[in-house]
């Protein structure tokens, strides 16, 4: 049985491979997405390391000269997707979007480099090091203000957690009255009850139009734009990625780069405290416009373990959230707190379980000496795929699939992690 599932997972990656880059799923997402591709590389690496490297190389082909790496690379126009390249009007070498996505690349490159057993693969991964470092530099110059020291997202899509209830209050300030008329394409491919709402979409498009209006002036967008939220998920992921980048710099003897990376690490370690909400005793996102914490416990809050962040007291509080949620959830870990009024078990980031977050969480819990939590996450992830297939995400209550099917990063996580015994 697991062999059949392994084969199906490989088949999904092969059929979503559009020639050097992989689409997340046919129809709904017909282009290359940034963090999807990085997780997909981990899946390819289990049977074709060269193809894994290529997935990362093709993403970085779209890097801008200032180090920015876009969240979508459009190599052609596809009528199945909105907003496409003609709406974004961005990109230097290739048409792209004008926002970024969670920076998992350094962690993926470091892992593949550590596991590689041949010089040509190691050489290709080492050649990516300066590009990944340039992306981290871009974050520090365009998305991490001094004094906040955490990543400030300028669009909910930047977080990768598109419709998390964490964005509802900060996004309510976005003016949608001037949004140009548009037709959503996602609803042709997925059930409207699973997707973000019309109001969410109006806000997404208003922010794209705002960014385009600035000529994608990233500093202006991050300091004057209508949506500026310090994101707990992005920040924890960048903190972890920075640790991995430093380890890679050491392994590659890039000694001149080390002080800069160490400085980035210190800054992000400080930024974690900006994201601690004393009132609700949780790590969460925080609106930088008015200083308000979301006060919400999301799956991203638990990435503190993956980032190796938080003091003893903060970790104790997070553990008690884990215990509360795990006592009632059939499948861990819901993307949003089931005890919160905004929880919706089928709607994207308002409840469903996402395999890539589970992968990072299990790694973090194992490293923090919480093997039971790591095992629970892995066992639940396995049951979800065995029982319900390679869905985009899953209901934490029933296991039912939400969003698209035959999903690349879910297949990749089966091959690289939860479908395997070790
Ligand atoms: C979408 O189109 O729903 C994507 O998640 C944007 O990144």
pLDDT digits (tens, 9 = 90+) for 273-299: 999 999 999 999 999 999 999 999 999
- Non-local (6+) Cβ contacts of 221 within 8 A are 154, 210, 211, 214
Question: What is the per-residue pLDDT across 312-323, written as a single tens digit (0 to 9) for each?
Answer: 999 999 999 999
Q: Judge whether residue 422 has pLDDT over 80.
A: no
CB 44 within 8 A of CB 55: yes
Mean of pLDDT values over 190-200: 95
Band the pLDDT of 76: cuts 50, 70, 90.
Answer: confident
Respond yes or no: is residue 231 known to be catalytic. no
- Model-level pTM greater than 0.85? yes
Mean of pLDDT values over 40-59: 98
* Nearest atom (ligand 1) to Cα of 71: 7
CA 112 – CA 241 distance, rounded (Å): 14
CA 411 – CA 418 distance, rounded (Å): 10
Q: Residue whose CA is closest, atom 4 of ligand 1?
A: 157
Q: Residue whose CA is closest, atom 6 of ligand 1?
A: 157
Q: Which residues contact ligand 1 via a Cβ below 6 A?
A: 71, 157, 162, 186
Q: How far is the CA of 61 from the centre of ligand 1 (A)?
A: 21
Respond yes or no: is residue 224 known to be catalytic. no
CB 224 within 8 A of CB 293: no
Band the pLDDT of 2: cuts 50, 70, 90.
Answer: confident
Distances (CA, A) of 388 to 63, 82, 352, 398: 36, 28, 13, 10
DSSP letter, residue 414: I
If one residue of 78, 162, 183, 201 were mutated to test the ligand 1 pocket, choosing by the most ligand atoms within 8 A of its CB, it would be 162
Question: What is the per-residue pLDDT across 304-344, written as a single tens digit (0 to 9) for each?
Answer: 999 999 999 999 999 999 999 999 999 999 999 999 999 99
If one residue of 28, 29, 102 were mutated to test the ligand 1 pocket, choosing by the most ligand atoms within 8 A of its CB, it would be 29
* Nearest atom (ligand 1) to Cα of 29: 2
CB 408 within 8 A of CB 24: yes
* Nearest atom (ligand 1) to Cα of 195: 3
Tokens of 353: 């379980």
Q: Residue whose CA is closest, atom 7 of ligand 1?
A: 157
CB 131 within 8 A of CB 187: no
Mean of pLDDT values over 372-394: 98
Q: Environment class of residue 191 by beta-carbon count within 10 Å: exposed (0-12), middle (13-18) or buried (19+)?
A: exposed
* Nearest atom (ligand 1) to Cα of 101: 7
DSSP letter, residue 163: T
Mean of pLDDT values over 19-23: 97
Average pLDDT for the chain: 97
Catalytic residue among 162, 166, 337, 406: 162
Of all residues in the chain, what percent carry a pLDDT higher than 70?
100
Name the residue among 144, 122, 142 with its Cα closest to residue 64.
142
Quick one: residue 136, left, alpha or beta (phi over 0 = left, psi -120 to 50 = alpha)? alpha
CA 411 – CA 40 distance, rounded (Å): 8
CB 304 within 8 A of CB 311: no
Mean of pLDDT values over 21-39: 97
**pLDDT value of position 247:** 98
Q: How far is the CA of 119 from the centre of ligand 1 (A)?
A: 37
**pLDDT value of position 1:** 59
Q: How far is the CA of 205 from the centre of ligand 1 (A)?
A: 11
Q: How far is the CA of 28 from the centre of ligand 1 (A)?
A: 9
* Nearest atom (ligand 1) to Cα of 33: 7
CB 238 within 8 A of CB 151: yes
Q: Judge whether residue 32 has pLDDT over 90.
A: yes
Q: Tell how strand 32-33 and strand 229-230 pair up.
A: unpaired
């Amino acid at each position: 049985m697991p062999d059949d599932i392994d084969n199906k997972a490989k088949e999904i990656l092969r059929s979503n491979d559009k020639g050097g880059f992989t689409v997340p799923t046919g129809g709904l997402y017909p282009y290359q997405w940034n963090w999807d591709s990085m997780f997909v590389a981990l899946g390819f690496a289990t049977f074709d390391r060269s193809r894994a490297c290529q997935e990362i190389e093709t993403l970085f082909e779209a890097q801008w000269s200032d180090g920015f790496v876009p969240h979508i690379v459009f190599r052609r126009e596809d009528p199945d997707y909105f907003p496409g390249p003609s709406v974004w009007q961005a990109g230097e070498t290739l048409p792209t979007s004008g926002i970024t996505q969670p920076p998992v690349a350094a962690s993926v490159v470091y892992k593949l480099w550590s596991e590689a057993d041949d010089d040509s693969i190691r050489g290709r991964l080492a050649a990516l090091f300066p590009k990944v470092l340039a992306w981290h530099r871009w974050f520090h110059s365009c998305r991490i203000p001094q004094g906040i020291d955490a990543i400030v997202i300028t669009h909910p899509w930047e977080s990768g957690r598109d419709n998390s209830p964490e964005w509802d209050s900060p996004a309510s300030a976005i003016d949608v009255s001037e949004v140009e008329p548009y037709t959503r394409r996602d609803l042709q491919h997925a059930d409207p009850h699973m997707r973000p709402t019309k109001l969410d979409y109006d806000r997404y498009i208003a922010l794209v139009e705002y960014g385009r209006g600035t000529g994608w002036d990233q500093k202006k967008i991050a300091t004057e734009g209508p949506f500026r939220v310090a994101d707990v998920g992005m920040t924890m992921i960048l903190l972890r990625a920075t640790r991995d980048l430093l380890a890679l710099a050491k392994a590659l003897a890039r000694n001149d780069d080390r002080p800069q990376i160490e400085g980035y690490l210190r800054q992000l370690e400080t930024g974690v405290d900006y994201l601690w909400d004393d009132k609700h005793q949780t790590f969460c996102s925080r609106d930088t416009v008015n200083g308000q914490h979301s006060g919400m416990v999301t799956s991203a809050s638990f990435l503190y373990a993956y980032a190796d962040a938080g003091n003893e007291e903060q970790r104790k509080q997070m553990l008690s959230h884990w215990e509360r949620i795990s006592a009632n959830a059939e499948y861990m870990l819901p993307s949003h707190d089931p005890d919160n009024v905004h929880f919706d078990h089928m709607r994207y980031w308002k409840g469903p379980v996402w395999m890539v977050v589970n992968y990072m969480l299990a790694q973090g819990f194992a490293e923090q000496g919480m093997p039971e939590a790591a095992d629970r996450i892995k066992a639940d992830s396995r049951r979800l795929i065995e029982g319900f297939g390679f869905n985009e995400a899953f209901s934490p209550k029933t296991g039912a699939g939400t969003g698209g099917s035959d999903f690349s990063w879910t297949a990749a996580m089966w091959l690289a992690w939860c479908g395997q015994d070790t």
